[in-house]
Amino acid sequence: MRAASGLVVLLAGCVTTVQGTYPGDRPMWDGIFTHAERIELPARPVAVVAPHHLIDASELAGFWSELAKQKPSVVVVIGPDHHAHGAGVTVGQGVTYDTVYGPLRTDAGLARALRSPRRDAAFVGEHALHVHAPFIRRLLPEARFVPVMLQWAVPRAELEALARRLDQLLPPDALVVASVDFSHYQPAPWATFHDESSFSTVSGFDLDALFLREVDSPESLFVAMRFAQLRGAAKATRLLHTNSQRRRSVLITDSTSHQYFTFTAGTPVPRPSVSVAITGDVAASTGLTLHEGWTWHPDHDSGAPKYEGLRNIRGQEDRFFMGPQATLFGLAPGQQVRRMQNGLDVLYAAVDLSQPVPSLAGDCVIVLASGGTAEAARALLQQGAHVVVGRGFGPSLPLEHLDGRVLALSLGPFLSGEEGEGQVLGVTCTKEGVRTRTVPIRVTKGLPALDRERLGAELGLPLTFD
């Protein structure tokens, strides 16, 4: 049957044997290593971030090959408990991963010292961990190994305690791996937009903000980064940035992005930036304005807008608007909102072009402009605005870039009562300029939704196999 995984639990004594979802075929795994990407580490990492999708097998092989050269005596892999089969924090104590290179066994003593309830069977089927097992078994057969699963929304105090226990227990040459994927279920350009903010957050070691980014396990990321921080390794370096679309020959709108980080000795190198998703025209009657910190939570109301008209654009697990610092639907006439976001002074302003232009000062000034001409809107870029988005300028128009600033005279309809083609704009303001990503949408029966046909055409990708 589809994706029948062949996961088996063999109970022998107190050992839970985990067989991966990939058939244990030696030629396949040898081929993965043969095609390993060449990756260079900037320095010896204390902790790293690596994905848990084998669509990145050759990158993982390259990454692990370099990590193995450091000869860590202990490897702790921390990943999400996707199926919530474990406890909040679950440490594998008697888990053995069956790999084509032989069994990879848990270091029971070290695992027990981490003091978590024993739920070894929960590791069966958890790809976030078993994906790494063949790499570790082949490249680091002598290393002591401990797998850790973290559930969504484990209290911060428990995460902090785990990071501290790891710091106390692990030898200086240990390696902690956060097995984490980033943006989920989005077309590749939008995933890249999501990743702008997570890249910045990780680089700046802003541990609180991790939980507002588009990450499949901010908990795992938090523990690995906090552990690194405790050991003075707060310099983050992103070595690779990949997306599952690149190895697919047809358009996928549910791509996953991967970012490979190392955390090495040093202090954070902040990358001040603010990412904002901006929609096309939105009627004031929707009540949708500026929304900051759009998060999804499986168990409780996250506070994200529930407006019915958004249902077709929200995407799987409500992730479309998740990740950036803010989503801008609209502002009241003349409204100005000023925020300090990720090290930047950000001004969101509604400007009536028929009136005198107010002061537009800030590191990142995002203007919704209405009531005037295209020339007047364009002129705002000379008057302090970094991003100008027109309101009420009709059908969607191409973006205009001017000296690192952007004019989107019209993003077309969104929730304005109009139908037809539009786009959603993702802007990332930095001190060097504004980067943009767009995704095409189409409004039908009042509901904006991703426009796959136009997206496929823009990316030069067919929508289906012949």
Is the Cβ–Cβ distance between 462 and 250 less than 8 Å?
Answer: yes
* Residue with Cβ nearer another protein (356 or 465): 465
| 310 DSSP 8-state letter | G
Q: Is 8 in the site for another protein (CB under 8 A)?
A: yes
Q: Which of 28, 161, 265, 461 binds another protein (CB under 8 A)?
A: 28
Q: Give least dist CB 51 to another protein, A.
A: 9
Q: How far is the CB of 55 from another protein (least distance, A)?
A: 5
460 binds another protein (CB under 8 A): no
Part in contact with another protein (CB under 8 A); list of ranges 123-131, 172-180, 337-345, 377-385? 123-131
Nearer to another protein, 375 or 445 (CB): 445
Report the first-to-last Cα separation within the chain, whole angstroms: 24
User: How is residue 156 written in tokens?
Assistant: 């911060």
Q: Does 7 bind another protein (CB under 8 A)?
A: yes
Instruction: Note whether 422 binds another protein by CB under 8 A.
Output: no
157 binds another protein (CB under 8 A): no
**Least distance in Å: CB of 250 to another protein?**
7
Q: Which residue, 43 or 54, has its beta carbon nearer to another protein? A: 54
Tell me the closest approach of the beta carbon of residue 415 to another protein, in angstroms. 18
DSSP per-residue codes, 401-465: EETTEEEES---EEESS--EEEEEEEEEEETTEEEEEEEEEEEETTEEEE-HHHHHHHHT--SS-
Query: 165 to 184, contacts with another protein by CB under 8 A?
Result: 184
Choose between 301 and 375: whose C-beta lies nearer to another protein. Answer: 301
Task: Considering the complex, state which of residue 230 and residue 449 has its C-beta at the smaller distance from another protein.
Answer: 449
> If binding is defined by CB under 8 A, does position 121 make contact with another protein?
yes
Q: Residue 142: beta bridge partners?
A: none
- Which is closer to another protein, CB of 184 or CB of 391? 184
Residue 363 CA neighbour count, 13 Å, CB half = 17
**Do 309 and 446 form a contact (C-beta atoms < 8 A)?**
yes
Q: What value, to the nearest 5°, has the Cα angle with vertex 131 and ends 126 and 137? A: 120
Q: Does 5 bind another protein (CB under 8 A)?
A: yes
For residue 19, CA distances in Å to 167, 256, 454 come to 30, 24, 42
Burial group, residue 33, by CB count within 10 angstroms (0-12, 13-18, 19+): middle
Q: Are 43 and 175 in contact (CB under 8 A)?
A: no
Minimum CB distance to another protein, residue 113 (Å): 24
Q: Is 23 in the site for another protein (CB under 8 A)?
A: yes
Structure-token pair, residue 278: 């901006």
Residue placing its CB nearer to another protein in the complex, 66 or 120: 120
Site string for another protein, 303-342 (x = CB under 8 A): --------xx-xxxxx------------------------
What is the rounded CA–CA span in Å between residue 420 and residue 272? 36
Per rule CB under 8 A, is residue 135 in the interface with another protein?
A: no
Listed ranges 63-71, 247-255, 380-388, 415-423: which one lies at the site for another protein (CB under 8 A): 247-255
Residue 133, H or E segment: helix 133-139
Closest approach, Cβ 9 to another protein, in A, equals 7
Strands 102-105 and 95-99: antiparallel
Query: Rounded to whole angstroms, how far apart are CA atoms 255 and 352?
Result: 39
**Gyration radius from the chain CA atoms:** 24
Residue ranges binding another protein (CB under 8 A): 1-9, 21-25, 27-28, 31-32, 34-35, 53-55, 57-58, 82-85, 121-122, 124-125, 127, 152, 184-185, 244, 247-250, 253-254, 256, 298-299, 311-312, 314-318, 463-466
